[in-house]
Structure 1
Amino acid sequence: MDLYAIYLVSDSVGETADVVIRSALYQFETENYQLKKYSYVQTTEEIEEICAKAADDRKAMIFYTFVKKEMADYMKERIEQAKLIGVDIYSPILTGLGQLFQLPAKEKPGMNRQLNEDYFNRVEAIEFSVKYDDGRDPRGIEKADIVLVGVSRTSKTPLSIYLANKNVKVANIPLFPESKPPKEIFTIAPERIIGLVNSPKKLNEVRKERLKTLGLPPSASYAGMERILEELEYADKIMKQIGCEIVDVSNKAIEETADHILHYMDVMNISRKQL
């Protein structure tokens, strides 16, 4: 028994046509068909070849998704000339949305796939920043796009997550006199390290608030000015030893600091790694 030939033709991966047609096929109690998928169709010559193959199949139908109008029009013309059955999935949708928004479509194949890749890259960056937060695993230093260093309450963690939402893989390392920083921060390129500093007064305020949320007295040494100055002096020594970029976060919102770092990455031509 001859199978019905269902052609799925696209100028990109063809996910849209595949999902739509497979969903529609569930409405029919038959398996008497064969899907023939043609992805990344970019030329009229390829359309000619596909239509010729479909014409040779006695029971064929073509579903196509072209974002470029000229390609969709050419496919429609060839289908009519070959007396085939064809359905343009994309064009009516693009035309309708264009009328609604009063804007032309970009006509760039693969935009949906690109958006999906951006989404998964962002998720990966967030997972990375959580995994290598607060110096949990120094191995993340060599894998990160950017490494943040600084004393406690200089916004290292929230800044890491914010940058991760911009697809930047961030590791952050706390600096305090009682612990030597990981050796990796002295072996990677210094331009990939950002030192975060805060004013003693601001640190005193935020640390007192932190102690309050933990149910501890604000008089604890953690929030004391003597301790804060000791930590800042130690962190300054380490940052100068590294030779890294230093950002004062005392009067900056997270967004401002993140914008500064992103601009710095562009200026220094720091690329975002793929794990």
Structure 2
Amino acid sequence: MNKKEVVYVVSDSVGETAEFVVKAVATQFNGGQVDIRRSSYVEDHEDIEDVIILARQTKSIIAYTIVIQDLKKYLDRRAAEEGIMAVDLLNPLLSAFTKKFDKDPNNQPGMMRKLDDDYFRKIEAIEFAVKYDDGRDPRGVLRADIVLAGVSRTSKTPLSMYLAHKRFKVANVPLVPEVKPPDELFKVPRGKVVGLIISPDKLNEIRKERLKALGLTSQANYASYERILEELDYAEKIMKRVGCPIINVSNKAVEETASQILDILKSERSSN
């Protein structure tokens, strides 16, 4: 490739896939000196005709990722008529998938972009859960899709991460008698807040195990029955002030509690 050749990249979506493939191939020829001109979101014959005219004038290759069959057939036909080399980057693999899975493709443009958007929403939700974990920044309470409130060791953090993987932005707020809850907790729409409680016996057991894992004595105030009753009583008073639904997480798996939270969220939305 002694000069900078022109390749027209045509897609009924963004065209990033086609451009990436063209660049990858171009690197095999004298350093990849190729002028890629992208034509995205083609939606009718007129769009394709514009590319055909340009490619004919510059004697260029057309590389395309088009899944709308009418547009694909039109491009193939017009390229053949004009003597233009047009390369379908998707069809060989689509045909292989069709034969292997005995199923026809959806032929809907932009599916990869939808998957990417879904992925990035998940990553954003995970980052949100980390940033606003354990009441670190009360501003997250007002920005969250779901707010979890409860005493220590009621699975607030695991639930936040689990729900984040389902693309919900979750903030959680610890309820401790010595620490005034953030004002934001009382400003959140009631349907977004869920209180988490647990039986005193179960919490005592969990906290003792936690202290043991940290190499501390199980007699510490953190795990004392009196302290636990005080915290649970305080937490329930705050939850009543907020007016939020309450879930008892005793002996519940994270998945089970998360399912209940989502059911509550769905119920609240449908009633508004």
Partner of 1:40: 41
Q: Is the 8 A contact 1:207 1:223 kept in 2?
A: yes
1:228 alignment partner in structure 2: 228
Structure 1 position 139, deviation (Å): 1.5
Determine the structure 2 residue equivalent to 1:148: 148
CA contact (8 A) 1:147 1:173 kept: yes
Q: TM-score, normalised by structure 1?
A: 0.92
CA 1:32–1:26: 2 relative to 1, 3 Å: closer
Aligned equivalents of 1:267, 1:83: Cα separation in 2: 61
Distance 1:43 1:222 in 2: 68
Q: 103-112 or 69-78: which moved more?
A: 69-78
Identity of aligned residues (%): 51
What is the identity, as a one-letter code, of the residue corresponding to 2:209?
Answer: E
Structure 1 residue aligned with 2:168: 168
Q: Say if 2:261 is the partner of 1:267.
A: no
SS at match of 1:268: helix
Q: Deviations over 1:35-73 (max 9, x none)?
A: 22100112222222221232233x211111012233222
Report the counterpart of residue 208 of structure 1 in structure 2: 208
1:18-29 → structure 2 map (5 Å cutoff)? 18-29=19-30
Amino acid at match of 1:12: S
1:147 positional shift: 1.0
Q: By how many angstroms is 1:33 displaced?
A: 4.3
Give a deviation string over 1:159-178, Cα, whole Å, max 9, x none: 11111111111111111211
Q: Distance in 1 between matches of 2:109 and 2:264?
A: 32
Greater than 4 Å deviation, 4+ residue runs:
30-33
Residues matched between the structures, number: 269
* Contact 2:26–2:33 under 8 Å retained in 1: no
How far has the Cα of 1:238 moved from its partner? 0.4
- Contact residue 7 and residue 35 of structure 2 kept, 8 A: yes
1:89 aligns with 89
Aligned partner of 1:240 in structure 2 is 240
In structure 1, the residue matched to 2:253 is 253
Q: Aligned equivalents of 1:19 and 1:31: distance in 2?
A: 12
CA distance in 2, matches of 1:249, 1:30: 60
SS at match of 1:105: coil
Distance in structure 2 (CA, Å) of the matches to 1:188 and 1:30: 57
Partner residue in 2 for 1:273: none
Whether the 8 Å contact between 1:69 and 1:91 is mirrored in structure 2 is no
Q: What RMSD over aligned residues (CA atoms) do the two structures have, in Å?
A: 1.9
Q: For 2:171 and 2:102, how far apart are their aligned partners in 1?
A: 44
Range moving further from structure 2, 66-75 or 155-164: 66-75
1:89-125 C-alpha deviation (Å, 9 max, x unpaired): 0111111111111222121211212222222221121
Residue in 2 that maps onto 1:11: 12
Report SS of the residue matched to 1:269: helix
The one-letter code matched in structure 2 to 1:129 is A
Describe the superposition over 1:135-155 as per-residue Cα deviations: whole angstroms up to 9, x where unpaired. 111111112111110011100
Deviation at 1:267, TM superposition (A): 2.9
Task: Return the offset for 1:2.
Answer: 8.9
**Structure 2, gaps ≥5 residues long:** none
Structure 1: how far apart are the matches of 2:126 and 2:168? 8
